[in-house]
A and B are shown apart, each in its own frame.
Chain A
């Protein structure tokens, strides 16, 4: 089945630790995105990548880092510099065509205490 997978579904970390969230897609999409969702705030863009080995900051990139070494994979690292890391993280992908639809993974809920 084609789709986007994110792992793990739930992640718990202590404050001060870096943590990496996985995102993999087998849709052959060129573009991939990371969003953060907090209650009452919709989705906010953290980072996005249009092609392998290239990525750009979104609206709330501070405290996060990404890599895009393979077309299928776009891992997100939440660093200790991120002030409020507890949130629901969604990964998405899309083709680079006039269809602007993005396909979403199931998300990872990160809790930092």
Chain B
């Protein structure tokens, strides 16, 4: 059974701190790993990672994939209260159709 596990499940930090969110996976037919941010309702896309060792960066957020050890990390530097959200990791698999397998999510709270 395909499985994606995120840690920690919940994290509370102060504004300005740096955080690292983890995502490990065990799936067949791995294609890509995706990170989403869910603030209130609809998850919004952050990154898609397909190749090992290549960092994707967008402002204060960055992410990297390790296909040998089967995990990815999402880093957020100089956190702001607007970064408070649930961060979802998903792995894209193809078994006759494109499917995403989601982790449980990490609830990040940034206190001022």
Contacts and interface: CB of A to CB of B under 8 A. Distances in A.
B104 interface: yes
A42 B89 CA distance: 9
Nearest to A43: B102
Interface stretch (B51-59, B63-71, B75-83, B92-100): B92-100
Contact of B98 (A31, A35, A42, A106): A31
A69 interface: no
B34 A100 contact: yes
Contacts of B48: 99-101
Given A45-B99, A90-B43, A106-B41, A101 B104 contact: no
Nearest to A95: B98
B98 A96 contact: yes
Interface in A35-93: 35, 40-45, 48, 50, 56, 58, 90
B100 A102 contact: yes
A100 B97 contact: no
A7 interface: no
B43 A104 contact: yes
Given A106-B42, A107-B42, A100 B103 contact: no
Interface residues on B, range: 20 to 34
B97 to A, nearest CB: 5
B104 A107 contact: no
Contacts of B4: 42
24 contacts: A31-B97, A33-B100, A41-B104, A42-B4, A42-B103, A43-B43, A43-B88, A43-B90, A43-B102, A44-B102, A45-B99, A45-B101, A50-B97, A58-B99, A90-B42, A90-B43, A100-B92, A100-B100, A101-B45, A104-B36, A104-B43, A104-B44, A105-B42, A107-B41
Given A45-B101, A58-B99, A94-B98, 7 more contacts: A42-B4, A43-B102, A45-B99, A100-B32, A100-B98, A101-B45, A106-B41
Interface of A: 4, 31, 33, 35, 40-45, 48, 50, 56, 58, 90, 94, 96, 98-107
3 A-B pairs with the lowest CB-CB distances in the bound complex, closest first: A100-B92, A43-B102, A104-B42
